[in-house]
Amino acid sequence: MIKKCLFPAAGYGTRFLPATKAMPKEVLPIVNKPLIQYGVEEALATGMHDIAIVTGRGKRALEDHFDISYELEHQISGTQKESYLQDIRLLMEQCTFSYTRQNAMKGLGHAILTGEPLIGREPFGVILADDLCDGGEAGGVLSQMLKIYNKYRCSIVAIQEVPQEDTLKYGVIAGSELEDNVYLVSDMVEKPDPEKAPSNLIIIGRYILTPDIFDILRQTAPGKSGEIQITDALLTQAKRNMVLAYRFKGRRFDCGSVGGFVEATNYYYQQMLAE
Ligand code: G1P
Q: What is the pLDDT of residue 86?
A: 86
Looking at the predicted structure, is the pLDDT value of residue 83 above 90?
A: no
Measured between alpha carbons, how far is residue 256 from residues 166, 173, 211, 259, 267 in Å? 15, 21, 27, 9, 16
| pLDDT (mean) for 14-26 | 92
d(CA 107, CA 66): 25
Looking at the predicted structure, is the pLDDT value of residue 109 above 90?
A: yes
Q: Evaluate: CB of 170 within 6 angstroms of ligand 1.
A: yes
Residue 42, C-beta contacts closer than 8 angstroms, at least 6 positions apart: 127, 133, 140, 141, 142, 143
The pLDDT mean for the chain works out to 95
pLDDT tens digits, one per residue of 222-239? 999 999 999 999 999 999
| pLDDT (mean) for 121-131 | 97
d(CA 96, CA 251): 28
Domain count, the chain: 1
CATH of the domain at 178: 3.90.550.10
| pLDDT (mean) for 93-114 | 95
Measure 106 CA to ligand 1 centroid, in angstroms.
13
Strands 124-127 and 201-209, by their bridges, are: antiparallel
B/e letters for 95-122, b = 16+ CB within 10 Å, e = fewer, are: bebebbebeeebbbbbbbbbbbebbeee
pLDDT category of residue 255 using cuts at 50, 70 and 90: very high
Pocket test for ligand 1, best of 25, 106, 112, 128 (most atoms within 8 A of CB): 128
pLDDT tens digits, one per residue of 189-221? 999 999 999 999 999 999 999 999 999 999 999
At how many degrees (to 10) do helices 141-152 and 35-45 cross?
40
Closest-CA residue to 254 (of 202, 185, 208): 202
Domain, as residue range, for 115: 4-274
* Nearest atom, ligand 1, residue 130 CA: 12
Looking at the predicted structure, is the pLDDT value of residue 27 above 90?
A: yes
pTM of the model: 0.96
d(CA 222, CA 235): 14
Alpha helices (runs of H) in 180-249, residue ranges in sequence order = 212-219, 230-240
Q: Evaluate: CB of 190 within 6 angstroms of ligand 1.
A: yes
Q: What is the pLDDT of residue 111?
A: 97
Q: Evaluate: CB of 11 within 6 angstroms of ligand 1.
A: no
